[in-house]
Every structure is written in structure tokens, then in C-alpha cells.
Amino acid sequence: MAQLIIPTPLRKFTDGQGIFTQEAATVKDLLAALAAQHPGLKPHLFEDSGSLRSFIRVYVGDEDIHALEGEDTALQANDEVSIIPAIAGGL
């Protein structure tokens, strides 16, 4: 089963859960399953149209999905998927 690492800012919407494990064929399926289980996450990940917000970076292993097949990137069992937040600090 693929494992999704949830960044700290999103754990507020997953009751503190940091890892989500799920059988999923693609990155899109995995993220959809996560959002179905934790609906509060939905606006933080997806646009109203349902597509992943353009600035969110998702990695399968060390590879950015933009360099793979995007949300349609196929997942193997034991793949580790990560959502990387933008940097906060600044102003």
C-alpha cells in the first residue's frame, strides 16, 4: 500500500495523523482517498474544479510529480508520497 506523508500544517485537518496509508493506483486516487476521509482538507488541496491546486508540490519518492505523469503518476505498493508545504517565515 502507498504511504502518504502529511505535512504538519495539514495535520490540523487529519486529527494529528501524519501518515495515511491506502491502496491506490495513482497519486490522484491517493489524494482523493485522503480528502474523502478528511473533508476539511479538500479546499486546501483542490480547486473547485477538483484539480490539485497548482502550487502544491507532491513527490513520489524523491521525484516531483510534475516531472512524472502529474496526478496520473502510477503508484507501486510501498511507494512513499509526500506533500511539501511552501515556506513560512518572512514579513
Partner 1 sequence: MTAPILDPRLATLDELRWHVGNTPLHPVRHLSPKPGVEIYAKLEWQQFGGSVKARPAFNILRNAVASGALRGRRLLDASSGNTGIAYAIFAASAGIPVTLCIPENASKERKHILKSLGVDLILTSPFESTDGSQDVARELAHSQPDKYHYVDQYSNDANWMAHYNHTGVELWEETHHRITHFVAGLGTTGTFTGTGRRLKEFNEDIQLVALQPETALHGLEGWKHLETARVPKIFDATVPDETRLVTTESSYAMLKRAAKEEGLLISPSSAANLVGAVQLAEELDEGVIVTVLADDATKYSDVIERLLP
Q: For partner 1, which is the closer residue by CB, 61 or 74?
A: 61
Cα separation of 70 and 90, whole Å? Answer: 30
Tell me the closest approach of the beta carbon of residue 53 to partner 1, in angstroms.
7
Tell me the closest approach of the beta carbon of residue 76 to partner 1, in angstroms.
22
Q: Under the rule (CB under 8 A), what is the footprint of partner 1?
A: 5-10, 12-13, 43-45, 47, 53-57, 82-91
Give the strand pairing for 80-84 and 2-5: parallel
Cα separation of 39 and 81, whole Å? Answer: 19
Q: For partner 1, which is the closer residue by CB, 74 or 85?
A: 85
Tell me the closest approach of the beta carbon of residue 54 to partner 1, in angstroms.
7
Q: For partner 1, which is the closer residue by CB, 61 or 85?
A: 85
Cα separation of 60 and 72, whole Å? Answer: 12
Tell me how many helices (H) and strands (E) the chain has.
2, 5
